[in-house]
């Protein structure tokens, strides 16, 4: 009797928690658009922020331009990219992998809310990590798992070993999301409001995160990737997934590293060449990192892989400027 | 790996139990238990698991023959291996730097030869169990050597491997011998679950809750005003109790799943009436180990003063390699001796005064655990309100509230008694099931901010 009651109580409480996580969170971006103040989302996990950005896009008419990627592009706002605030949205999430960007764009496309033109930041440095998508949540993510394991279009390049590794990575990612879910910080974030403020590191209405203004010009160093974790076959698979999204103009660009580090090491070079081959093979527009993205008078790089928002925004504006969005 | 990790609770423990109770494989249970225990330990450092295995092999090789019974030289030889490992890993830095004051060739204040030595978790605990086994063989309490695998089960059993209770072989002999035929009884498993949940909650919700305040205050030992200093003393006193008590309860609870009845390690220590009584209630398995393997062989009460000073100094040193721990031990020795001298007066005080005074003195002693030796003196001035450097650090209502809550739990909640409700009616069992379900769920939600167990560093 005791054990049954104990287990039932725990199961009910866990089910309640899952229900809370399934309820759409409040939309801080819409609130920020109303009062012009930004919102701190520190307590939210990456999967929550992806969810909120998805919900925002779903509630909004289709954006002309969407920026996807990690913290390396998160600070680029509509003013940086010279776009009207209402027509641009930054879908990036700190720590978001290429695989997560693809999954988010696929979900948006399924909801007919994929931006007409999507700029997807490809993070060479981040390819040393598993980088499996943490969003959408289970059980929806099972579709991604199934497609990753089958991956018919990459049949020649993906051996059994790579698929077993991918299965293990999905289990690992699932466990990470379980751990994130069983925490008071995520629960608090989901049940509380994101209060308006004007601090740094908070999010504006366009989905971007404010960046501190001026970093001092300092020597910046970067530890090159120790390994390449994402098998080239899965890079090919992900590019194929993007190519299948016919309703959006997709530009995959390599996020720049600090000037002088672009061709730093053989692992980065091999990753870039594998990605470029896959990307162009699927007919996507693919842009490797430029040699320099910087401003001569500041703002300066905060570290070796996070370029200044204004400079990166100008670069991305040029990058996307020559391609007319589909009607 | 530690008990307050989701990986332990939801992956390791279920897998360990599934393997243990796998139908048709009962004869492999001892091997399985040793295997999973070594994985449990090795996940924190495989080289340290080798140290553990080496200690077991060493004691096994020397004590396997009955020649060891009554043979002092062989017993010393059996004990010296694990003790040397303990000395190397735990005390080499202390000896070279603090005791001998050696400097390296660059004239630095520290000698760096042993800087890279990392203390294997729980080495003090399993070393004492290995030594206890060797001495019990010498004394003939263990008539025949039990064999390598049973010895390994006894030493490595993961619920008690890292922070006790320090078990004697005879206390778990029955469980080890009947492993292959053990079938879990519902009541024992239910009690095990209840104790483990209580333990987890005391650690995560009480001890770690207090830790957030203790960590902030203890980072500035020299500048605390008297109010904050006293808050720190009492909050840490509660923290270390619930931290270690929580671990012990979990160990006892988890032991039940595998048919082991581990001894109680805490008997309401903060209800002790005097310092001597405190040591009958706090970390009981260590107190009895010291009594049986150190105090009595030294002559016991015949040379009371000398022996008390020796065993408490060594008890302090067992806890940590530093003069602050030695002084902590001597502080308790003085308390125990002082109580002996003043017993007629002490015992005539009202019971609540005795308890309060004992708690106050014991709590003061924990200051030596909290700070480096150099900071203790200035912190003492803060306690007395005599420090010129003290600044007023606000102790918020929330902080007082948390401490008050911990105190209520300490004096008014008895997990063992509550668990005994399981043997009563169905209504009590249902109520306890719901209550512990809520407590377990709450503890799980706070695991992400849970800290490592304090006693792991010993």
Of residues A72, A122, A115, the one with CA closest to residue A279: A122
Q: The tokens of A156 are what?
A: 């020649």
Query: Within this chain, do residues B177 and B263 fall inside the same structural domain, yes or no?
Result: no
Pairing label, strands A65-68, A38-39: unpaired
DSSP string, B337-388: HHHHHHHHHHHHS-HHHHHHHHHHHHHHHTHHHHS-HHHHHHHHHHHHT--T
Query: Within this chain, do residues B236 and B284 fall inside the same structural domain, yes or no?
Result: yes
Q: Is the pLDDT of residue B157 over 90?
A: yes
> Which residue among the candidates B48, B283, B319, B332 is catalytic per the annotation?
B319
Domain assignment of residue B55, yes or no: yes
Higher pLDDT, B333 or B89: B333
Instruction: Name the pLDDT band for A322 (thresholds 50, 70, 90).
Output: very low
User: Coil, strand, or helix at residue B415?
Assistant: helix
In this predicted model, what pLDDT tens digit does every residue of B94-132 receive, in sequence order? 777 777 776 655 555 554 545 566 778 888 999 999 999
Q: The tokens of A125 are what?
A: 């440095």
Q: Is the pLDDT of residue A323 over 70?
A: no
Contact A9 B186 (CB under 8 A): no
Q: Is B443 at the interface with chain A, CB within 8 A?
A: no
Domain assignment of residue B270, yes or no: yes
Q: Output the pLDDT for position A325.
A: 41
Compute CA B85 distance to the chain's CA centroid, rounded to the nearest angstrom. Answer: 20
Contact B429 A2 (CB under 8 A): yes
Residue pair B147/B222 in contact (Cβ under 8 Å)? The answer is: no
Distance CA A140, CA B252 (A): 41
Query: Within this chain, do residues B147 and B287 fall inside the same structural domain, yes or no?
Result: no
Residue pair A294/A45 in contact (Cβ under 8 Å)? The answer is: no
Structural domain count, chain B: 2
Query: Within this chain, do residues B366 and B446 fall inside the same structural domain, yes or no?
Result: yes
Higher pLDDT, B276 or A151: B276
Q: What would the mean pLDDT of A270-284 be, rounded to a whole number?
A: 86
Q: What is the DSSP letter of B116?
A: T
Q: The tokens of A315 are what?
A: 């670069």
Higher pLDDT, B392 or A324: B392
Domain assignment of residue B228, yes or no: yes
DSSP string, A113-143: ---SEEEEEE-TGGGGS------SPTTTHHH
Q: What would the mean pLDDT of B425-453 be, rounded to a whole number?
A: 92
Helix extents (H) in chain A: 2-22, 28-35, 46-59, 71-74, 98-110, 141-150, 160-181, 184-191, 232-243, 266-281, 309-321
Residues 6+ apart with CB under 8 A from A11: none
Report chain A residues whose CB lies below 8 A from the CB of B437: 5-10, 13
Q: Is A188 at the interface with chain B, CB within 8 A?
A: no
Higher pLDDT, B138 or B372: B138
Residues 6+ apart with CB under 8 A from A49: A41, A93, A94
Domain assignment of residue B237, yes or no: yes
Q: Is the pLDDT of residue A301 over 60?
A: yes
Residue pair A128/A226 in contact (Cβ under 8 Å)? The answer is: yes
Query: Within this chain, do residues B176 and B257 fall inside the same structural domain, yes or no?
Result: no
Q: Output the pLDDT for position B56.
A: 96
Q: Output the pLDDT for position A299.
A: 62
Q: Omega into A139 within 30° of 0, i.e. cis? A: yes
Cβ neighbourhood burial of A192 (10 Å; 0-12, 13-18, 19+): exposed
The mean pLDDT value of chain B amounts to 90
Query: Within this chain, do residues B229 and B151 fall inside the same structural domain, yes or no?
Result: no
Of residues B259, B21, B256, the one with CA closest to residue A3: B256
Structural domain boundaries, residue B373: 187-457
Contact A1 B446 (CB under 8 A): no
Query: Within this chain, do residues B177 and B219 fall inside the same structural domain, yes or no?
Result: no
Cβ neighbourhood burial of A296 (10 Å; 0-12, 13-18, 19+): exposed
Is residue B319 flagged as an active site residue?
A: yes
Domain assignment of residue B1, yes or no: no
Q: Is the pLDDT of residue A293 over 60?
A: no
Q: The tokens of B331 are what?
A: 């502080």
Residues 6+ apart with CB under 8 A from A152: none
What percentage of chain B exceeds 90 in pLDDT? 71
Pairing label, strands A117-122, A249-254: parallel
Start-to-end C-alpha separation, chain A: 64
Domain assignment of residue B59, yes or no: yes
User: Coil, strand, or helix at residue A203?
Assistant: strand
Query: Within this chain, do residues B202 and B227 fall inside the same structural domain, yes or no?
Result: yes
Report chain B residues whose CB lies below 8 A from the CB of A175: 11
Query: Which of A153-167, A190-204, A245-259, B154-168 is most confident?
Result: B154-168
Query: Within this chain, do residues B10 and B150 fall inside the same structural domain, yes or no?
Result: yes
Q: What would the mean pLDDT of A247-267 be, rounded to a whole number?
A: 74
Q: The tokens of B77 are what?
A: 């030889």
The mean pLDDT value of chain A amounts to 81
End residue of a domain, out of B126, B154, B183: B183
Q: Phi then psi for A120, rounded to 5 degrees?
A: -115, 120
Distance CA A152, CA B414 (A): 61
Q: Is A191 at the interface with chain B, CB within 8 A?
A: no
Residue pair B229/B382 in contact (Cβ under 8 Å)? The answer is: yes
End residue of a domain, out of B130, B151, B183: B183
Q: Is A184 at the interface with chain B, CB within 8 A?
A: yes
Residue pair B1/B12 in contact (Cβ under 8 Å)? The answer is: yes
Q: Is B438 at the interface with chain A, CB within 8 A?
A: yes
Distance CA B156, CA B63 (A): 18
Report chain B residues whose CB lies below 8 A from the CB of A191: none
End residue of a domain, out of B162, B183, B204: B183
Pick B438's closest partner by Cβ from A13, A184, A185: A13
Domain assignment of residue B122, yes or no: yes
Q: Is the pLDDT of residue A300 over 70?
A: no
Compute CA A257 distance to the chain's CA centroid, rounded to the nearest angstrom. Answer: 17
CA-based nearest distance A19→chain B, Å = 15
Q: Is B14 at the interface with chain A, CB within 8 A?
A: no
Contact A3 B449 (CB under 8 A): no
Query: Within this chain, do residues B168 and B252 fall inside the same structural domain, yes or no?
Result: no
Residue pair A211/A69 in contact (Cβ under 8 Å)? The answer is: no
Contact A2 B448 (CB under 8 A): no
Q: Output the pLDDT for position B251.
A: 95
Query: Within this chain, do residues B244 and B159 fall inside the same structural domain, yes or no?
Result: no
Q: Phi then psi for B365, rounded to 5 degrees?
A: -60, -35
Residues 6+ apart with CB under 8 A from B457: B119, B320
Question: Token pair 């399924």 is at which residue?
Answer: A110
Q: How many residues does chain A have?
A: 327
Q: Is the pLDDT of residue B333 over 50?
A: yes
Q: Is A216 at the interface with chain B, CB within 8 A?
A: no
Which long-range contacts does B338-345 make (Cβ < 8 Å, 24+ apart)?
A: B338/B275, B339/B274, B339/B275, B339/B276, B340/B276, B340/B304, B343/B274
Of residues A147, A148, A153, A323, the one with CA closest to residue A250: A323
Query: Within this chain, do residues B198 and B123 fall inside the same structural domain, yes or no?
Result: no
Q: Is the pLDDT of residue B261 over 50?
A: yes
Which one of A6, A8, A13, A180 would you mutate to disrupt binding with B, by most B Cβ within 10 Å of its Cβ?
A6
Contact B193 A3 (CB under 8 A): yes
Q: What would the mean pLDDT of A79-103 be, rounded to a whole number?
A: 87
Q: What would the mean pLDDT of A192-216 be, rounded to a whole number?
A: 73
Query: Which of A289-298, B313-322, B402-411 is most confident?
Result: B402-411
Q: Is the pLDDT of residue A156 over 70?
A: no
């Amino acid at each position: 009797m005791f054990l049954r009651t104990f287990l039932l109580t725990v199961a009910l409480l866990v089910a309640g928690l899952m229900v809370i996580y399934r309820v759409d969170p409040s939309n801080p971006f819409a609130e920020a658009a109303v009062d012009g103040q930004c919102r701190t989302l520190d307590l939210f996990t990456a999967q929550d922020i992806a969810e909120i950005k998805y919900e925002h896009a779903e509630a909004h008419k289709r954006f002309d331009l969407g920026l996807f990627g990690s913290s390396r592009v998160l600070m680029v706002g509509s003013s940086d990219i010279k776009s009207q605030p209402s027509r641009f949205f930054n879908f990036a999430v700190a720590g978001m992998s290429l695989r997560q960007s693809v999954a988010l764009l696929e979900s948006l496309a399924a909801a007919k809310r994929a931006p007409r033109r999507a700029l997807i930041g490809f993070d060479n440095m981040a390819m040393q990590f598993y980088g499996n998508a943490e969003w959408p949540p289970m059980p929806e993510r099972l579709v991604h798992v199934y497609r990753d394991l089958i991956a018919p279009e990459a049949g020649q390049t993906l051996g059994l070993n790579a698929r077993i590794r991918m299965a293990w990575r999905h289990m690992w990612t699932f466990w990470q999301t379980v751990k994130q879910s069983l925490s008071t910080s995520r629960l608090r974030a989901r049940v509380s409001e994101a209060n308006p403020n004007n601090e740094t590191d908070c999010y504006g209405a366009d989905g971007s995160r404010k960046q501190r203004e001026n970093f001092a010009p300092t020597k910046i160093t970067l530890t090159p990737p120790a390994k390449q974790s994402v098998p080239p076959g899965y890079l090919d698979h992900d590019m194929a997934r993007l190519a299948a999204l016919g309703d959006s103009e997709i530009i995959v660009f390599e996020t720049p590293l600090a000037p002088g580090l672009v061709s730093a090491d053989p692992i980065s070079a091999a990753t870039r060449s594998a990605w470029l081959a896959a990307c162009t093979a699927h007919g996507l527009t693919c842009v490797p990192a430029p040699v320099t993205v910087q401003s001569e008078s500041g703002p300066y790089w905060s570290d070796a892989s996070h370029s200044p928002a204004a400079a990166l925004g100008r670069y991305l504006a040029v990058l996307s400027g020559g391609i007319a969005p589909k009607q | 790996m530690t008990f307050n990790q989701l990986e332990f609770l939801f992956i390791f423990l279920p897998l360990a139990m599934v393997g243990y109770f796998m139908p048709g494989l009962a004869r492999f249970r001892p091997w399985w238990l040793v295997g999973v225990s070594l994985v449990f330990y090795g996940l924190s450092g495989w080289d340290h698991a080798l140290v553990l295995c080496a200690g077991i092999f060493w004691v096994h090789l020397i004590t396997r023959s009955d020649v060891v019974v009554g043979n002092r030289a062989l017993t010393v030889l059996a004990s010296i291996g694990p003790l040397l490992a303990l000395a190397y890993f735990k005390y080499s830095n202390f000896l070279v730097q603090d005791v001998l004051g050696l400097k390296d060739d660059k004239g630095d204040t520290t000698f760096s030869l042993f800087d890279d030595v990392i203390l294997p978790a729980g080495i003090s605990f399993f070393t004492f169990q290995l030594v206890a086994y060797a001495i019990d063989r010498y004394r003939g309490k263990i008539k025949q050597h039990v064999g390598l695998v049973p010895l390994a089960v006894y030493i490595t059993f993961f619920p008690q491997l890292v922070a006790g209770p320090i078990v004697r072989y005879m206390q778990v002999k029955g469980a080890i011998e009947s492993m292959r035929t053990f079938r879990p009884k519902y009541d024992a498993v239910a009690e095990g679950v209840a104790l483990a949940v209580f333990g987890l909650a005391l650690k995560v919700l009480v001890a770690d809750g207090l830790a957030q305040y203790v960590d902030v205050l203890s980072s500035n030992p020299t500048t605390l005003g008297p109010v904050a200093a006293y808050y720190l003393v009492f909050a840490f006193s509660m923290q270390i109790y619930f931290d270690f008590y929580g671990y012990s309860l979990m160990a006892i609870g988890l032991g039940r799943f595998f048919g082991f009845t581990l001894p109680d390690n805490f008997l309401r220590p903060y209800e002790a009436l005097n310092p001597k009584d405190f040591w009958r209630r706090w970390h009981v398995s260590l107190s009895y180990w010291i009594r049986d393997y150190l105090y009595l062989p030294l002559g016991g009460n015949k040379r009371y003063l000398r022996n008390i000073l020796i065993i408490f100094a060594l008890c302090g040193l067992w806890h940590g390699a530093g003069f602050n721990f030695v002084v902590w031990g001597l502080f308790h020795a003085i308390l125990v001796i002082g109580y002996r001298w003043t017993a007629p007066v002490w015992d005539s005080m009202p019971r609540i005064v005795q308890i309060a005074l004992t708690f106050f003195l014991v709590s003061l002693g924990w200051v030596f655990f909290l700070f480096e030796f150099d900071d203790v003196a200035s912190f003492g001035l803060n306690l007395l309100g005599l420090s010129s450097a003290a600044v007023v650090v606000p102790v918020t209502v929330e902080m007082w509230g948390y401490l008050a809550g911990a105190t209520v739990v300490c004096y008014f909640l008895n997990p063992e008694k509550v668990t005994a409700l399981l043997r009563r009616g169905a209504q009590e069992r249902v109520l306890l099931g719901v209550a512990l379900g809520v407590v377990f769920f709450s503890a799980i939600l706070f695991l992400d901010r849970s800290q490592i167990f304090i006693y792991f560093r010993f």
